[in-house]
Amino acid sequence: MKTFSLVSAVITTKNEEAVIEDILESLKKQSYRNIEIVIVDNNSVDNTLNVARKHTSKVFNYGPERSSQRNFGVSKSKGVFILILDADMKLEKDVVLECVEFISKNKEVGAVIIPEKSYGRGFWTQFKVFEREFYVGDQTIEAPRFFRKSLFDKFGGYDTSITGPEDWDLPLRMRKQGGKIGRIKSYIWHNERMFSPWKSAQKKFYYAMHSEEYLKRHPEMVLSQGNLLFRPVFFKKWRKLVSNPFLSLGMFFVRILEMGGALLGIVYGYINKRGS
Mean pLDDT calculated for residue range 238-259: 95
CB distance 170 to 223 below 8 Å: no
CB distance 37 to 24 below 8 Å: yes
Return phi, psi of residue 159, to 5°.
Answer: -75, 115
Tell me how long the chain is: 276
How many Cβ atoms are within 10 Å of 206's Cβ, its own excluded? 16
* pLDDT class of 162 with cuts at 50, 70, 90: confident
Q: Which one has a higher pLDDT value, 140 or 184?
A: 184
CB distance 184 to 144 below 8 Å: no
Mean pLDDT calculated for residue range 131-153: 94
Q: Which one has a higher pLDDT value, 275 or 32?
A: 32
* pLDDT class of 1 with cuts at 50, 70, 90: very low
pLDDT of residue 200: 94
The pLDDT tens digits of the residues spanning 218-230 come to 877 766 665 666 7
Mean pLDDT calculated for residue range 211-236: 76
The pLDDT tens digits of the residues spanning 250-261 come to 999 999 999 999
pLDDT of residue 222: 65
* pLDDT class of 140 with cuts at 50, 70, 90: confident
The residue extents of the domains of the chain are 1-195, 197-276
Alpha carbon separation from 98 to 25, 81, 129, 185 (Å, rounded): 18, 13, 24, 8
For residue 147, give the DSSP letter. Answer: E
- Top CATH class, 1-195: alpha beta
Q: Which of 22, 186, 174 is nearest to 113 (CA)?
A: 186
Is the pLDDT confidence value at 197 over 90? yes
| Lowest mean pLDDT across 7-21, 98-112, 132-146 | 132-146
pLDDT of residue 171: 93
Give the predicted TM-score (pTM) of the model.
0.91
